[in-house]
Chain A
Amino acid sequence: AQKITQTQPGMFVQEKEAVTLDCTYDTSDPSYGLFWYKQPSSGEMIFLIYQGSYDQQNATEGRYSLNFQKARKSANLVISASQLGDSAMYFCAMREGQGNYGQNFVFGPGTRLSVLP
């Protein structure tokens, strides 16, 4: 079974509007972390935001916020005021386990976001 699901292979958004990229996850581990990464066409992987499973508040980093709904096992990324430079692939990822051993990192298939002028 897929551990990370991103149901939107491609998304379009008008410049300056907000967009939500969906991510659902599957784990039985009570301790886990959720990440979002951006990969522009140049290929590098850029960390955007992190949410821990025990965090009470939704994570925010500038124009990025993570809508964490633990009961639904969803961790959607919200980008406010989209910019042309936001056009990229976006990956949701999960780290299960903690400590030096037994950790596992899993990435979703990604969503390609295109920002229209």
Chain B
Amino acid sequence: DTAVSQTPKYLVTQMGNDKSIKCEQNLGHDTMYWYKQDSKKFLKIMFSYNNKELIINETVPNRFSPKSPDKAHLNLHINSLELGDSAVYFCASSQTQGNEQFFGPGTRLTVL
């Protein structure tokens, strides 16, 4: 009965490759997020979707493209991976105007 799940948990890939990280929530929330946590533990929001519609799109390279097939899923596709993309990526969800975000376990991406 995992609330927010992400796959894969670890992703090791070569520079230049394209990869996707999947996120699913079974909480019935209507808002989902992607965050990037760098090696210094700094967390930065990347995207936010509400009912499959993009509502926050921070300054992120357009190599990153979120896709929300339905409100329970928000996948992150990354093209032409670079060394600087190495980080932990967290998916999260909340009710609109909710007071709490539930985070997934994170995906550690390593670009070689």
Asked if A pairs with B, the answer is: yes
Contact surface of A with B, Cβ cutoff 8 Å: 33, 35, 37, 39, 43-47, 50, 52, 89, 91, 93, 98-107, 109-110
B90 proximity list for chain A (CB < 8 A): 45
For residue B55, which residue of chain A has the nearest CB? A101
Q: B103 touching A103 by the CB < 8 A rule?
A: no
Alpha-carbon separation in the docked complex, A100 to B43 (Å)? 22
Shortest CB–CB separation between residue A54 and chain B, in angstroms? 12
A45 proximity list for chain B (CB < 8 A): 90, 92, 103, 106
Main secondary structure of the interface of B (DSSP, over half): strand
Given contacts A50-B99, A100-B50, A103-B56, contact A91 B43 (CB under 8 A): yes
Interface residue from B35, B100, B108 paired with A47 (Cβ < 8 Å): B100
Q: A105 touching B100 by the CB < 8 A rule?
A: no
Q: A107 touching B103 by the CB < 8 A rule?
A: no
Within 8 A of A (CB), among B83-101: 88, 90, 92, 96-97, 99-101
Interface residue from A35, A43, A99 paired with B105 (Cβ < 8 Å): A43
Interface residue from B55, B88, B100, B106 paired with A50 (Cβ < 8 Å): B100
Q: A52 touching B106 by the CB < 8 A rule?
A: no
The 7 closest A-B pairs by CB, nearest first: A45-B103, A107-B43, A50-B99, A105-B45, A47-B100, A100-B50, A110-B41
Alpha-carbon separation in the docked complex, A103 to B102 (Å)? 17
A interface footprint on B23-66 (CB within 8 Å = 1, 0 otherwise): 00000000001010000111111001011010110000000000
A98 proximity list for chain B (CB < 8 A): 97
Alpha-carbon separation in the docked complex, A102 to B97 (Å)? 11
Q: A47 touching B42 by the CB < 8 A rule?
A: no
A52 proximity list for chain B (CB < 8 A): 99
B44 proximity list for chain A (CB < 8 A): 107
B99 proximity list for chain A (CB < 8 A): 33, 35, 50, 52
Q: A44 touching B105 by the CB < 8 A rule?
A: yes
Q: B102 touching A43 by the CB < 8 A rule?
A: no
